[in-house]
Amino acid sequence: MTEMTRRERILAASRGERADKLPFFHWWRHSQVGWAERECRNRGMGMAWARPSYTVELRDVDVVEQPVMVEGVKVLRRTYNTPVGAIYLDEKREPGTGEWHGMRSWRDVSPWQTARLVKQPEDYEVLKFIVEHTEYTADYFPLEQAKDWLGEDGCVVDHHPHSPMQTLMIDWIGSEGGRFFIHHAKYPDLVEDLYRAISKSREPMYEIAARSPADVIWCGDNIDGVLVNPRLFERYFMPEYEKMAKPIHGQGKLFASHMDGRVNVLKDLIAQTPLDIIEGLHPPPMGDLPIGEALSLWKDKVIWVGFPGSIYILGPEATKKHTLELLREVVPGDRLTIAMSTENLVSNENLRVVTSVLENADLPLTGEKIDRIEKSLG
């Protein structure tokens, strides 16, 4: 077999076909540019880029941003003025935000909200107005540009926001102090009504995605089974994934969701979703579902592993050991890709040590092959 390109490897594995080597890559948003990154890419590490296929326009909504001081802390206040009322959020930013990877700080932390759009029951009506006046228009330029730049060096995915209920839980109502759960228990009608409105307004976005030049449509859903418990997942997430999957699969594309939390309690439900790729799955000790178990449970799915930050912090020796153990767990290594990280920056030495294990991970993996890799590393 002629050697596959990094892009071919990622896509072959993602379609459930056998790649020549276990695909591994770094997400651009967490990647440094420098000698270690270059060395690792020369040794087989791919790149993945997430960009949107659409632009968003708000009709009859006036958005104003201004810095304000709240309890002695400088925050950015974004106010949404609508004919039915105004709501605002406050956002705190670390140094470096907007100066390199999108909105990430030097330490790779995105801005976080210190005040959420939903503060009281009256705010739901304003948000519903905003949702119903949100328009999505296809814009494939960012994807085409990234595809052109990356070429065979990696994979470009179409990036979508949190699914509707996750948008409410993580972005708009927020989970601080359990606020989302409390609102969901106290004002179920308001929460569900807004959920339905978001789901409806997103329909054109799913159609745009399905026709985009990306091979993989990726919902950055940040699923964690502690927060999105099985009852919530079944009621609000599975139906939405079904809805998204229809146009995406209709155009022969792959559908991925970011599940970077502890998903053991959701494993049987996840098996029933139409998702092709479970992306960002973190093995223990960060997550709570071993990759081997997930692969055997989800026979029709592919896993893009997110390398756990709690191993990186232990240093290169522990990182090497964990990578080798991971290989042994997933023999023969099909239906799998490994991302250097889906959450954090990775040190030069950790990047190199993972590469040194994975660069020789020819498929199908066997115990002997892994022994040989281990020996070669000394």
Partner 1 sequence: MTLEKYLASLKEGIINLDFGVVVKAATEAMAAGVDPNAAINEGMVAGMAVVGDKFEKGEYFLSELVVAAEVMKEGMAVVKPYLKGSSAPGLGKVVMATVEGDHHDLGKNIVTTLLRVQGFEVVDLGIDVPTDKIIGAVKEHQPAIVGMSALLTLTMVKMGEVIEALKSASLREKVKVIIGGTPVTTEFADSIGADHRAANALEGVKKCVAWVASPERRQ
- The footprint of ligand B12 (CB under 6 A) covers 109-110, 112, 170, 175-176, 222, 224, 226-227, 260-262, 282, 286, 306, 309, 343-344
Q: Which is nearer to ligand B12, 15 or 179 (CB)?
A: 179
What are 270-274's contacts with CB under 8 Å, separation 24+? 270/298, 270/301, 271/297, 271/298, 271/301, 272/238, 273/238, 273/241, 273/242, 274/241, 274/242, 274/245, 274/249
Closest approach of Cβ 90 to partner 1, in Å?
13
Q: From partner 1, ligand B12, none, which one binds at residue 271 (CB under 5 to 8 Å depending on kind)? A: none
Q: Which is nearer to partner 1, 38 or 186 (CB)?
A: 186
Q: Which is nearer to ligand B12, 129 or 312 (CB)?
A: 312
Residue in this structure with the two tokens 């709570």, named with its chain if needed: 288
Dihedral class, residue 344 (left if φ above 0, else alpha if ψ from -120 to 50, else beta): beta
Q: Are 103 and 109 in contact (CB under 8 A)?
A: no
Q: Which is nearer to partner 1, 58 or 269 (CB)?
A: 269
70 binds partner 1 (CB under 8 A): no
The only residue of 102, 121, 188, 230 in contact with partner 1, by rule CB under 8 A: 230
112 binds partner 1 (CB under 8 A): yes
Q: Can you read off the two tokens belonging to residue 213?
A: 């030049």
Q: Are 104 and 97 in contact (CB under 8 A)?
A: yes
107 binds partner 1 (CB under 8 A): yes
Q: Which is nearer to partner 1, 115 or 331 (CB)?
A: 115
Q: Which is nearer to ligand B12, 8 or 260 (CB)?
A: 260
96 binds partner 1 (CB under 8 A): no
Q: At what angle do helices 123-132 and 188-201 cross, to 10 degrees?
A: 10
Closest approach of Cβ 169 to ligand B12, in Å?
9
Q: From ligand B12, partner 1, none, which one binds at residue 260 (CB under 5 to 8 Å depending on kind)? A: ligand B12
Residue in this structure with the two tokens 């359990």, named with its chain if needed: 178
Q: From ligand B12, partner 1, none, which one binds at residue 264 (CB under 5 to 8 Å depending on kind)? A: none
Closest approach of Cβ 185 to partner 1, in Å?
5
Q: Can you read off the two tokens belonging to residue 239?
A: 């139906």
**Residue 252: is it exposed, middle or buried by C-beta count within 10 angstroms (0-12/13-18/19+)?**
exposed
Question: Helix/strand/coil (H, E, C) string of 185-222?
Answer: HHCHHHHHHHHHHHHHHCHHHHHHHHCCCCCEEEECCC
- The helix (run of H) or strand (run of E) holding residue 122 is none
The only residue of 63, 84, 226, 377 in contact with partner 1, by rule CB under 8 A: 226
Q: From ligand B12, partner 1, none, which one binds at residue 222 (CB under 5 to 8 Å depending on kind)? A: ligand B12
Q: Can you read off the two tokens belonging to residue 294?
A: 């997930």
3-state class (DSSP) for residue 74:
strand
Distance CA 316, CA 348 (A): 10
Q: From ligand B12, partner 1, none, which one binds at residue 84 (CB under 5 to 8 Å depending on kind)? A: none
315 binds partner 1 (CB under 8 A): no
The residue range among 1-9, 74-82, 170-178, 331-339 that interacts with partner 1, by the rule CB under 8 A, is: 170-178
Question: Helix/strand/coil (H, E, C) string of 239-276?
Answer: HHHHHHHHHHHHCCCEEEEECCCCCHHHHHHHHCCCCC
Taking residue 372's Cβ as centre, other Cβ atoms within 10 Å add up to 12
Q: Are 281 and 344 in contact (CB under 8 A)?
A: no
List the x/- string, 254-293, binding to partner 1 by CB under 8 A: --------x--x-------------------xx-------
Q: From partner 1, ligand B12, none, which one binds at residue 170 (CB under 5 to 8 Å depending on kind)? A: ligand B12
Q: From ligand B12, partner 1, none, which one binds at residue 221 (CB under 5 to 8 Å depending on kind)? A: none
Residues that bind partner 1 (CB under 8 A): 107, 109, 112, 175-178, 181-182, 184-186, 226-227, 229-232, 262, 265, 285-286, 309-310, 312-313, 344
